[in-house]
Structure 1
Amino acid sequence: MTPDPALVQQPGPWTHRMVAANGGRFHVAQAGADDGRAPLVVLLHAFPQLWWAWRSQIPALAEAGYRVAAMDLRGYGGSDKPPSRHDTPSMVADVRGVIGSLGASSAVVIGHGLGGQVAWSMPALAPDVTRAVGVLAAPHPVPLHTPMARVAPASTLKSLAKFQVPWFPERSFTHADGVARLLRAWGAPGWEPDGVDLYTQAMRLPFVAHSAMEQLRWSLRSTPRMDGQRYRSAVNTSIDVPVLSLSGTADPVFSESSFRRDGDYVRGAYSRVSVTGAGHWLPEEAPEQVGELLIEWLHRLK
């Protein structure tokens, strides 16, 4: 049985809407004052999740005085699932379009994992709408997309290599417990993820698993190709806006050394915080601490 697409519109202290941008339609969960005065904060989720990963931070940021929009990236949840253009620059164009469609001239873009790669890319590819950047569990894309840079541990590279195989990775998410296994494997030891059923059902929506896999495949396969080289060249520039980087000390995907070069790409204010005991899923493993760190940083931007 195909899951009901409405499952992505979970109730809570937010509203759901579809936003037209970059030739597609994107699902956004938003909260906070929509009066044109509150600064806009756009939240981007990680693979294999959706906007729901930010459920603890959405009301916290709204109560702190921000207008919050947590969007489903292309291919995920309630957003459009195009058959092509699974590259990071296309996702940057999506975010740029969503910001404009929400009536804002600029936004603070905060991304986790895959969404963090999009956030890192915003100052170079969409500088006109990027006020500041927050990244969680996401090293800068230049060393990450540089052959032999060894930013990721061998275990992470092994997982990414498995995802390059056609068909089988998708089936592990749609017909087996691949989502649950991945959440547990990438979390801190002993952490039990919440929302596994929702993430699993969302991954079983038509075309979601394929879109998610194609995005991961692009990140690896594009490295030696011209499109990957153009992307790496574009983001290999100094970032003038403020940047906050959060990572977990127990993240099995990226060790603390994976972030050692990030500050070299930031000419603006750069803040780096390690969250003790947290794994890869920072918004869910340390929800209150992440919310407090984001609010403290956002207040400094005013």
Structure 2
Amino acid sequence: MALTGPFDHDGAPAVAAFPAHAVDETLRHRTVSANGIRFHVVESGTGPLVLLLHGFGQYWLNWRHQLPALAAAGFRAVAVDLRGSGGSDKPPRGYDAFTLSADIAGLVRALGERKATLIGQGYGGVLAFDTAIIHPTVVEKVVAIAAPSPMRTAKVHRVRTDPYRRLLHFAAMPFVPDRRLARADGSMLERIVRSQAGAAWKASADFRETIAAMRRAIVVPGAAKGAIEKLRWVARSPWRADGLRHREALEQPVQAPVLHIAGDADRFTPTAALADAAGHCAGGYRREVVPGVGHYPAEEAPEVVNALIVDFLRS
């Protein structure tokens, strides 16, 4: 089959479109059906299931450092392209917290397991918390990276650092954000990521290769809309019935053990946004702040983050 873009006709990534460091013959790409749609997943290793959930504007590639590290540590690491992202289906609806968390619960079962550890970056961390509360029986542990505490997400006015406020206000508008995010080969996504990343990573070849791949992925038809719709629901939910149900659901604590990782230079989700997280976690809570990194610790300081994750999973 000819490779015509970032993704082939089966929804699986075209390897030729990826940076060289992402081409790894140990990674297994496949499509899994769950909650009524098809998901592209990338697997490495065997052992207890660890499901990796990406953040805004990302896809599986952003877990390239964690997949081999988790596999080497004895885990079955699976990075998923969330609904509306990467090589997964991009339906027009279903970007609310309840549907997205049902996606994750369904994926755990579709992958042949009863429970999994969820690791999420940014919005993926929010989704990991949501799933642990709404579908507690499928979640073994939670690792939330650069994500606010659960109730701060439901009460969005409490999380609004300036960059967060601007992005939510932008996402709340109809039509315009989707088009702007995909315009000019995804240049807006690069501006957003640059504004949130730490200085050292932004100056690296790894960043240049990664952002180039992210820009290719965000212009795939439906991907920009999928990225915006998740934030649009968060922005509009305080005035909607499903938003009220979400806030009521999040009054229940997370029963699974939680590792919360943040970068001390993260302007988008500063450490203050994690301040009350321990009070929402009944199964044990541990916080780690990584010095010198911004909103993307798993990519900016992968060796540090991988060591924290593996230690937590083995504890």
Give me the TM-score of the superposition, normalised by structure 1: 0.93
Task: Check conservation: 1:21, 1:97, Cα contact below 8 A.
Answer: yes
Which residue pairs with 1:66 in the alignment?
Answer: 75
Q: Secondary structure at the match of 2:228?
A: helix
Indicate the larger mover: 230-239 or 160-169. Answer: 160-169
* Deviation of 1:109 (Å): 0.7
Q: Which runs of structure 2 are paired with 1:208-287 in the superposition (5 Å)?
A: 208-287=223-302
User: How far apart are the structure 2 equivalents of 1:190 and 1:31?
Assistant: 28
C-alpha contact 1:28 1:69 (8 A) present in aligned 2: yes
Corresponding position: 1:88 with 2:97: yes
- 1:85 Cα deviation from its structure 2 partner: 1.2
Aligned 1:1-302 pairs, distance under 5 A = 3-6=5-8, 8-10=13-15, 11-12=23-24, 13-33=26-46, 38-146=47-155, 148-149=157-158, 151-176=159-184, 177-192=187-202, 193=207, 194-300=209-315
Unaligned runs of 5+ in 1: none
Give the drift of 1:241: 1.3
Q: Deviations over 1:44-101 (max 9, x none)?
A: 0001100110000100000000011100000000111111111121111111111111
Deviation per CA, 1:125-179: give whole Å up to 9, x if none.
Answer: 1111111111000112312221542x23123202221222233322332222111
- How far 1:28 moved relative to its partner? 0.5
Give the drift of 1:4.
4.2
Equivalents in 2 of 1:50, 1:225: separation in Å?
A: 28
Distance 2:212 2:100 in 1: 26
TM-superposed CA distance for 1:226, in Å, is: 1.1
- Give the drift of 1:195: 1.1
2:88 and 2:191 map into 1 onto residues whose CA distance is 25
Q: Which one has the bigger helix percentage?
A: 2
> Amino acid of the residue matched to residue 103 of structure 1?
G
Q: Count residues with an aligned counterpart.
A: 294
CA contact (8 A) 2:150 2:280 kept: no
Q: Let me know the Cα RMSD of the aligned residues.
A: 1.5
- Structure 1 residue matching 2:293: 3-state secondary structure: coil
1:152–1:258 Cα contact (<8 Å) kept: no
Distance 1:108 1:147, change over 3 A: closer
Query: Percent sequence identity over matched residues?
Result: 37
Gap runs ≥5 in structure 2: 16-22
- Check whether the contact 1:88–1:117 (CA below 8 A) recurs between aligned residues: no
CA positional deviation for 1:280: 0.5
Conserved in 2, the CA contact under 8 Å of 1:173 and 1:200?
no
TM-score by structure 2 length?
Answer: 0.89
